[in-house]
């Protein structure tokens, strides 16, 4: 897609906060792209829409020989530069300043005091709370730079070039704990980089529809629907652009939430008519999962079977050239491997990634410039039912990974009913939207209980509820005692196969959100 808007390039040196920088810039209605430092080249630096560059933080020390270096082309390019933490140290190093290793890593809140007049700090209080996270610091500024703030332990917390528009911050303006961080970023964007043409979702929608029409012309496109936000918005957007050349396939693998399959069918049938195809494949999946206990094997079987079923159905539609995917921007920001850090795969995610290679289809990803919350807003602009848009994320392998160990139809049925009671309670009590994701897990154990005068020997379920920004890290959500009491009572009284309810208070890390 060609943008006529102004752009900021965020160069990533491996900071845990890089996505957050991009996020804040987008909150300020400015278009930005993130690229890893080793992908910097003449082409991306000479882009006419480029108005400024941000150098991210990173886990390395510029004093380390193997650490990522600042490419001279970035400075030579001439647009304003803001180096954050490691980014500032790179700038300082290049211009001949001195970096020192701190005795102690400075991590957490700090107060800075600004000095003199800096456009970056315009309309910012002289004393300011900021968020620090660094080992090294600037011991001696380069000659061509001035110091614009000091932290309360006398560390140089910001510098700027005397003539050129090059700035450095030792702290992280992108983190909420830096109270005026957003204002500082806003000064960089609008006062220094002079961003004028902003990124607005309304314009995105009309531009995207035009460019999809232009790119896809009269070709047929298939889209895999899951009932989740991303694939729903992808399909509605494509439908606006190419109408009846869009074909949507919904594979019901039998491990969805209670009634979900019918709900998805009724919404999409109305919208897409004959071009909506539902495949009821639950018996195939359940058969293939028989006696399988190991989580990774379960995931692989579900992924492979999904591809087989989808492919078979897609082949029935003649002349298809494209496969639409609901990829979002955070999915394609390449993460920098942390030097010496773990590279092991934690879970193999289920998606339709294997399809295009097998079916030799071209890919269309209309949401790939957007963040999740922007996709939700776009969905509202496309008049999609808010209940659909505000749904908690639901994993591709569905309830199969919420039933540790072997699964069967009976267990799925029990879990569907428990999950439904739990989620309905959260919705009714207006807790649902405060939580990133909530679900129940059916444990592979039975325990003894007593109901009335009778001994019971039934399943235990565990409730999970987490808050998160992006699912990468998460905190468990703490219900009140009376809420937990109500949920537990409801589940045990309405689902006779369950006699014990547990609450999972593990954050991520060390736990993952799903159990498998």
Would you state the structure tokens that stand for residue 356, as one six-digit string? 């295009």
Among 300, 347, 372, 446, binds ligand XMP (CB under 6 A): 347
Q: Which residues are catalytic, by number?
A: 85, 172, 174
- Minimum CB separation from ligand XMP for residue 72, in Å? 39
Residue with Cβ nearer ligand XMP (349 or 427): 349
Site for ligand XMP in 274-313 (CB under 6 A): none
Among 349, 427, 434, 496, binds ligand XMP (CB under 6 A): 349
Question: Does the protein bind ligand XMP through residue 177 (CB under 6 A)?
Answer: no
Residue with Cβ nearer ligand XMP (437 or 499): 437
**Residue 208: closest CA among 255, 241, 182:** 241
**Span near ligand XMP by CB under 6 A; candidates 87-95, 321-329, 421-429, 508-516:** 508-516
Cβ–Cβ under 8 Å, residues 300 and 317: no
Residue with Cβ nearer ligand XMP (220 or 508): 508
Among 253, 397, 418, 461, binds ligand XMP (CB under 6 A): 397
Residue identified by tokens 């610091």 is 137
Spatial separation of the C-alpha atoms in residues 441 and 418, rounded to whole Å: 9
Spatial separation of the C-alpha atoms in residues 85 and 423, rounded to whole Å: 42
- Minimum CB separation from ligand XMP for residue 285, in Å? 14
Among 110, 148, 437, 499, binds ligand XMP (CB under 6 A): 437
Among 467, 471, 486, 506, binds ligand XMP (CB under 6 A): 471
**Span near ligand XMP by CB under 6 A; candidates 82-90, 175-183, 288-296, 393-401:** 393-401
Among 50, 395, 461, 477, binds ligand XMP (CB under 6 A): 395
- Minimum CB separation from ligand XMP for residue 226, in Å? 8
Spatial separation of the C-alpha atoms in residues 174 and 189, rounded to whole Å: 13
Instruction: Give long-range contacts, CB 8 A cutoff, 24+ apart: 345-350.
Output: 346/512, 347/295, 347/296, 347/299, 347/512, 347/514, 347/516, 348/296, 348/299, 348/300, 348/303, 349/299, 349/396, 350/299, 350/302, 350/303, 350/306, 350/395, 350/396, 350/397
Residue with Cβ nearer ligand XMP (14 or 326): 326
Question: Does the protein bind ligand XMP through residue 403 (CB under 6 A)?
Answer: no
Question: Does the protein bind ligand XMP through residue 514 (CB under 6 A)?
Answer: yes
DSSP 3-state of 110: strand
Applying CB under 6 A, the site for ligand XMP has a residue count of 14
**Residue 399: closest CA among 442, 361, 436:** 442
Cβ–Cβ under 8 Å, residues 249 and 279: yes
Among 59, 356, 393, 444, binds ligand XMP (CB under 6 A): 393
* CB hemisphere CA count around 71 (13 angstroms): 17
Cβ–Cβ under 8 Å, residues 249 and 225: yes
- Minimum CB separation from ligand XMP for residue 473, in Å? 9
Residue with Cβ nearer ligand XMP (467 or 512): 512
CA distances from 418 to 54, 128, 259, 448, 497 (A): 48, 49, 13, 19, 10
- Minimum CB separation from ligand XMP for residue 41, in Å? 32
User: Strand runs (DSSP E) across 379-509, as ranges?
Assistant: 437-451, 454-467, 475-476, 498-503
Among 253, 257, 350, 417, binds ligand XMP (CB under 6 A): 350
Residue with Cβ nearer ligand XMP (45 or 461): 461
Interface residue list for ligand XMP (CB under 6 A): 347, 349-351, 393, 395-397, 437, 471, 508, 512-514
């Amino acid at each position: 897609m060609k943008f006529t808007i102004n752009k900021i390039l965020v160069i990533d040196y491996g900071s845990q906060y890089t996505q957050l920088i991009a996020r804040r810039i987008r909150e300020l209605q400015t278009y930005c792209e993130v690229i890893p430092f080793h992908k910097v080249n003449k082409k991306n630096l000479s882009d006419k829409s480029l108005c400024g560059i941000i150098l991210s933080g990173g886990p390395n020390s510029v004093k380390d020989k193997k650490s990522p270096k600042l490419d001279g082309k970035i400075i030579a390019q001439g647009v304003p530069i803001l180096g954050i933490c490691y980014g500032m140290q790179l700038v300082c190093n290049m211009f001949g300043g001195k970096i020192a290793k701190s005795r102690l890593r400075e991590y957490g809140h700090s107060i800075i005091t600004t000095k003199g007049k800096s456009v970056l700090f315009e309309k910012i209080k002289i004393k300011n709370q900021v968020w620090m996270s660094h080992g090294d610091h600037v011991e001696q500024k380069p000659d061509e730079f001035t110091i614009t703030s000091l932290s309360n332990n006398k560390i140089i917390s910001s510098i700027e070039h005397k003539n050129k528009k090059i700035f450095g911050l030792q702290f992280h303006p992108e983190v909420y704990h830096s109270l005026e961080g957003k204002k500082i970023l806003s000064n960089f964007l609008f006062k220094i980089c002079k961003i004028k043409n902003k990124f607005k979702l309304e314009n995105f929608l009309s531009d995207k529809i035009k460019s999809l029409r232009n790119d896809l012309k009269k070709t047929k496109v298939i889209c895999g629907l899951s009932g989740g936000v991303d694939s729903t918005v992808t399909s509605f957007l494509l439908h606006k652009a190419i109408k009846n050349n869009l074909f949507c396939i919904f594979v019901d693998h039998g491990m969805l939430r209670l009634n979900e399959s019918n709900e998805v069918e009724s919404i999409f049938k109305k919208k897409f008519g004959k071009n909506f195809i539902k495949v009821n494949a639950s018996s195939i999946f359940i058969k293939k999962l028989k006696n399988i206990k190991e989580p990774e094997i379960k995931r692989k079987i579900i992924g492979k079977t999904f591809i087989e079923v989808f492919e078979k159905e897609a082949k029935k539609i003649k002349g298809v050239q494209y496969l639409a995917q609901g990829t979002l921007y955070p999915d394609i920001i390449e993460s920098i491997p942390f030097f010496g850090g773990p590279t092991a795969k934690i879970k193999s995610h289920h998606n339709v990634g294997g399809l295009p290679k097998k079916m030799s289809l071209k890919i269309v990803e209309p949401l790939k410039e957007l963040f999740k919350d922007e996709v939700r807003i776009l969905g509202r602009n496309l008049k999609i039912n808010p209940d659909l848009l505000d749904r908690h994320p639901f994993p591709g392998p569905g309830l199969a990974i919420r039933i540790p160990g072997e699964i069967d139809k009976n267990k799925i049925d029990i879990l569907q009913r428990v999950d439904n009671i739990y989620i309905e309670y959260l919705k009714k009590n207006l807790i649902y939207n405060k939580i990133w994701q909530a679900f129940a897990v059916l444990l592979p154990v039975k325990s003894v209980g007593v109901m009335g005068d009778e001994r019971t020997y039934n399943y235990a379920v565990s409730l999970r509820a987490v808050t998160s920004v992006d699912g990468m890290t998460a905190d468990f959500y703490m219900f009140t005692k009376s809420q937990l009491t109500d949920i537990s009572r409801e589940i045990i009284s309405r689902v006779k196969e369950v006699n014990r309810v547990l609450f999972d208070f593990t954050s991520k890390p060390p736990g993952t959100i799903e159990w498998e």
